[in-house]
Structure 1
Amino acid sequence: MSASTITPWVIGNWKMNPVQAQAQQLLNEFKQLLQDHGIAEEKCHLGIAPTMLALSTVQAQLSDAVRPVYSVAQDVSRIAGTGAYTGEVSAELLLDAGIGYVLIGHSERREIFADNRDSLNAKVQNALNAGLKVIYCVGESLEQREAGQAEAVVLQQICDIAGVVAAEQWANIIVAYEPIWAIGTGKTASPEDAQAMHAKIREGLKQITSYGASMAILYGGSVKAENAVELAACPDINGALVGGASLNAQSFHQIALAFANTQ
């Protein structure tokens, strides 16, 4: 399978936004846009990652959309199962609630909340073993890029989880490349730079797993309607993990259209 035949994903990461009334309005607007200007499922998969508090509510509100829009958890516990772990939500609890996808390794989790190799490995292993699909985030800092270490850092982050992913489980992983210096800053890697990194990631995945050629690799980092068409045209960019622009229904829909139109 060539990268150009991979069905793209566009996932909105709402982060710690918005309040309930705004979330309801945002979803209603997005569902109406899908009703008026359809995006076929086979052209582009869609997902929304709200706060943990809103996951079930968002899932219920999306249940009557004209096409599937998946609810995605923003994180998962490094502890499996159930037990006396105040504040934690395990992979098994997410699956029991009907949630099938989870973000793991976002740079904000790594940098602000001290997720490291050991905790990320536990999260990835627990999620996959429970039956969740993982959107695994990787990316370099500005200092690492300026030092010429970007590719090595990103490939190492992928290699970090290789020891806990069974051969067949790679089919349940999506990689999201988000250069840390472009997240929420308004800066975006040029399409050429993004494509170059995605091609390196693809090359690295092919060396690790037989699924490497068919895995979706998403770009994140100030993706917006204005740059989505250029990014979507890159052969190894199979979708987007969208931050701030996903909080605007029109912008999020336009980004999804950009990637759907590549198929």
Structure 2
Amino acid sequence: MSGSTITPWVVGNWKMNPMQADAQQLIQNFKGLLDITPIESAKCHIGVAPVTLALTTVQSVLSDSNREIYTVAQDVSRIAGTGAYTGEVSAELLKDSQIDYVLVGHSERREIFGETAQILNEKIKNALNAGLTVIYCVGESLEQRESGQAEQVVLQQICDIATVVEAEQWHNIVIAYEPIWAIGTGKTASPDDAQTMHAQIREGLSQITAYGKSMAILYGGSVKPENAVELAACSDINGALVGGASLNAESFHKIALAFANTK
């Protein structure tokens, strides 16, 4: 089932980078590139996910851009509202600061910080109920891929959230497929392999929600300018969740251009 008519997304996940001054310079450089070679909002959604400390600063620096660029939170608390929860940032607090997008389920959160399906469900439920759009990350390990379990693992991760997502809330979810073995390694799934998985994800989504055919499914895992055009040409790949390459304004701009011009 083709998703080629879906407006693509290109989102830069900065992870625990960079320092504040460098973050502001990165944004200014990216805005400058957009002034020279604009990318229409209608052709590609663009977002950046800085560290929590920098969310409102980056949002402010982006406010005078020649097009909308979304500010995306890298995480959200499993606790809703406000209260005595030291160190937590709830979905409601993000929304109050006009942060409307959040990553949930990134493999680093699952593996390093032990976030289980139950924890992720709590985060997703809170985020959606607060009116946020969730970029939900799924992906398999190298061992799971080599043992032939990749599709099963990824589709199970999608089924995991079906118990907490209301029918009308699927419209506020973007899926990001990131094979764990390709994150930060320089390795990338071949376009054929990535397209095959994206098509399976779309088929799985279509069995769960009426929005399945129209949901954006992004690819992540060592996305860079050199492979962006080929990935963008795949019918069910509707954008990219970009890691290291998003810390370079020129590289990030080229990736966004690739998806804007190919889709």
TM-score (norm 2): 0.99
- What is the correspondence of 1:66-145 to structure 2 with a 5 Å cutoff? 66-145=66-145
- What is the correspondence of 1:1-263 to structure 2 with a 5 Å cutoff? 2-263=2-263
Q: CA deviation at 1:119?
A: 0.3
For residue 5 of structure 1, what is the amino acid of its counterpart?
T
- Contact kept? 2:11, 2:242, Cα under 8 Å: yes
Structure 2, unpaired ranges of 5+: none
Residues 71-104 of structure 1, C-alpha deviation per residue, up to 9 Å, x if partnerless?
0000000000000000000000000000000000
- Contact kept? 1:78, 1:122, Cα under 8 Å: yes
How many residues align? The count is: 263
- Contact kept? 1:2, 1:214, Cα under 8 Å: no
Q: In the aligned structure 1, how far is the partner of 2:262 from the partner of 2:109?
A: 32
- Contact kept? 1:202, 1:212, Cα under 8 Å: yes
For residue 38 of structure 1, what is the amino acid of its counterpart?
P
RMSD (Å), alpha carbons: 0.8
- Contact kept? 1:139, 1:177, Cα under 8 Å: yes
Q: What SS does structure 2 have at the residue aligned with 1:165?
A: coil
Q: In the aligned structure 2, how far is the partner of 1:2 from the partner of 1:105?
A: 25
Runs of 4+ in structure 1 deviating by more than 2 angstroms, as ranges, are: none
Percentage identity across aligned positions? 77
For residue 124 of structure 2, what is the amino acid of its counterpart?
V
TM-aligned CA distance change 1:186 to 1:2, over 3 Å: closer
Structure 1, unpaired ranges of 5+: none
Q: CA deviation at 1:66?
A: 0.2
Q: What SS does structure 2 have at the residue aligned with 1:46?
A: strand
Q: CA deviation at 1:20?
A: 1.0
- Contact kept? 2:2, 2:199, Cα under 8 Å: no
Q: In the aligned structure 1, how far is the partner of 2:8 from the partner of 2:162?
A: 23
- Contact kept? 2:171, 2:211, Cα under 8 Å: yes
